[in-house]
Structure 1
Amino acid sequence: MDFANFLIQLLNSVQYGLLLFMLAAGLTLIFGIMGVVNLAHGSFYMLGAYLAYSLSGMFGSLTLAIIGGTILSVIFGLILERILFRHFYHRDHLDQVLLTFGLIYIFEEVRSLLWGDDVHGVTIPNVLAGSITLTENQSYPVYRLFMMGICLLLAIGLYLLINKTRLGMKIRAGAFNRDMTESLGINIKLIHAIVFAIGVGLATMAGMIAAPVSSVYPNMGSQVLIMCFVVVVIGGIGSVRGALIAAILVGLVDTFGKVLLPQVAGMLVYMLMAAVLLWKPEGLFKQ
């Protein structure tokens, strides 16, 4: 592998890893802070992709579609948490699994009724449709660099929110000791609603920015859900920093594994997870 090919695969690894982080960050927050096993998290990714398809056609702009879709997804997350998830915080994980597994089928059926079962494409904006030349024969798409930039900005913003704001302090307190946090007068139900809405918003935005690259098709959320759980387990449940590092590791192992060891590429990510758990059963970082 020459340097140009190595650079392309490295960029692909980072881009894939950062996209996984957007999904896994919301999942690890919901799981680590609220204690909810949300198997329907991948459906929010699918929802984002279909929103990008519909809203970009409606507005004629992917940027407006992403802004509008993010606002709609946060509102949807708040409503879903209020009418459904709030009643399962103190229930067994089995009840949560059954609930969210059922939601997958509901979301898929609603998707089929609204958009059908065909594969759709989302057009890349003209300003991002070009490529950056790496060598005489190789280039790298500008839109993938744009995806990395958006993901990095969101990662920085999420870090600042969790670690540098009063809301983040309340979120961390609620994750550490819910009863003590409530006794101090903090509205833990509101905190949980905000955390859930943030998780839904991140997953939906990931689907929207990935739609022009991956296309829009049925059951697309199921394919990324397992990888998100792998990232959460490797990084440590509830740790946003761990999710970021784990997502980059998974992106590197998956991408370079498919190039260098295609015969066993499907096993490498899970071998990485097994190795990390043998070394640190709680994941790379504690909450």
Structure 2
Amino acid sequence: MSAILLIEQILNGLQFGVMLFLTAAGLTLVFGVMGLINLAHGSLYMVGAFAAAAVAAATGSFFLALVASLAAAAAAGAIVEVVVIRRLYNRDHLDQVLATFALILIFSEGTRWIFGSFPLFLNIPEALSGPVTLPGGIQYSLYRLVLIGIGLAVALGLFLLINKTRLGIQIRAGENDREMIAALGIDISRLYTIVFALGAALAGFAGALVGAIQSVQVGMGEPVLILAFVVIVIGGIGSIKGALVGSILVGLTDTLGGVLLPSFFKLFMDNAAATATGTALATMAIYILMALILVVKPTGLYGAST
């Protein structure tokens, strides 16, 4: 493999990782603060993507499409929290899993009823289309570079929100002792709604951004949800820093594994067998990574020790 191809794949893995972070960050906030297992988080990713595709088709504006993805996913998240999730906080995790799995079915069928079963397409804005030349003469997609920048900027914004604002103090306090902050006069129901809507908005935003390089279709959020759970297990539940590091590790492992492992096995096998073996191991690589990290640190890289 050439050095240029390796650098391109590293950038692809970084782009995949930071987009995964947008989904995983909301999931780890909800799980860390509320103690809630939300299987419907991937559906909010899908809501954002469909909202963006619909608004872009109607207005031709990619910026308005991104705003629509944030607004639609946040509104859907707030409604779900008030109507359904609020009744699950004191229930066991099995009830949470069953209820949020039912929400997946509702969102999927509702989206199919509104938009149909065929994929929608969200075009990359003209200003961000095409390649850009990086040092060393590497040609790389400008849009993917922008995605990396947006993901890192959101990570910085979340860090500042959690650590430097009054809302962030309340979120961290709610994660540690929700009864105490309720006793101090904080409206815990309002705080939970804000956190859930924020997590939903991040997932919807990710869906819109990724929707421009993939098709927007029903069920697109479920594979992302699985990877997001892997990320928060690797990074540690409730840790934004852990979500970022875990997302990048998963993105690089998945992308580089899919390229390097087949090439490695070609040294010992014919092309067809090497490709099949390498591809199979590449899909397992992130789970092997998760298992190895949990052996060394059962709470994840940045999870609180118990």
Q: TM-score, normalising length from structure 2?
A: 0.91
Gaps of 5+ in 2: 263-277
Q: How big is the shift at 1:137?
A: 8.8
* CA deviations over 1:63-84 (Å, ceiling 9, x no partner): 1111122123222222221111
C-alpha RMSD over aligned residues? 1.4
Partner of 2:296: 279
Give me the whole-angstrom Cα distance separating, in 1, the residues matched to 2:76 and 2:100. Answer: 15
The answer for the alignment partner of 2:93 in structure 1 is 93
**1:38–1:96 CA contact under 8 A, matched in 2:** yes
User: Which structure 1 segments of 5+ residues have no match?
Assistant: none
Q: Distance in 1 between matches of 2:138 and 2:147?
A: 20
Say if 2:20 is the partner of 1:3: no
Match of 1:265 in 2: 282
Q: Do the aligned partners of 1:131 and 1:142 also contact (CA within 8 Å) in 2?
A: yes
CA contact (8 A) 2:48 2:72 kept: no
Matched, 1:55 2:55: yes
Q: Take 1:173 and 1:137, find their aligned partners in 2: how far apart are those partners?
A: 49
- In the alignment, residue 72 of structure 1 is paired with which amino acid? A
Q: Which residue of 2 aligns with 1:25?
A: 25
Higher normalized contact order (CA 8 Å, seq sep 6+, divided by chain length): 1
Contact in 2 for aligned 1:73/1:201 (Cα 8 Å) = yes
Report which of the two structures shows the higher radius of gyration computed on alpha carbons.
2
Q: 1:22 to 1:136 in 2, by over 3 A?
A: closer
Out of 199-208 and 52-61, give the one that drifted further. 52-61
TM-fit CA distance, 1:135: 8.8
Contact 2:231 2:250 in 1 (8 A): yes
Cα distance in 1 for residues equivalent to 2:36 and 2:157: 24
The correspondence of residues 173-212 of structure 1 with structure 2, limited to 5 A, is 173-212=173-212
1:125-204 mapped onto 2 (5 Å cutoff): 125-134=125-134, 139-204=139-204
- What do the CA deviations read for 1:41-90 (whole angstroms, capped 9, x no partner)? 11111111111110101111111111122123222222221111111111
* Alpha-carbon distance between aligned partners in 2 of 1:29 and 1:84, rounded to the nearest angstrom: 18
Q: Equivalent pairs: percent with the same residue?
A: 49
- 1:82 matched to 2:69: no
Cα 1:194/1:131, change in 2 over 3 Å: same
Provide Cα deviations, 1:141-177, integer angstroms capped at 9, x if missing partner: 1111111111111111111000111110011001001
Note the alpha carbon deviations across 1:193-232, whole angstroms, 9 max, x for none. 1100000000000000110101112211111111110001
CA contact (8 A) 1:29 1:195 kept: yes
> d(CA) in 1 for partners of 2:155 and 2:63?
19
Tell me the amino acid that sits aligned with residue 185 of structure 2.
G
Answer with 82-91 or 126-135: which moved more.
126-135
1:136 Cα deviation after fit = 9.9
TM-score, with length taken from structure 1 = 0.97
Tell me the distance in 2 between the aligned counterparts of 1:126 and 1:197. 31
Structure 2 residue 256 is the aligned partner of structure 1 residue 256: yes
Structure 1 CA distance, aligned partners of 2:169 and 2:135?
48
> Partner letter of residue 168 of structure 1?
G
Q: Across the two proteins, how many residue pairs are aligned to each other?
A: 287
Superposition misfits of 4+ residues, deviation over 2 angstroms:
133-138
Distance between the aligned counterparts of 2:69 and 2:224, measured in 1? 20
Decide whether the 8 Å contact of 2:28 with 2:243 is kept in 1.
yes
Report deviation, 1:13: 0.9
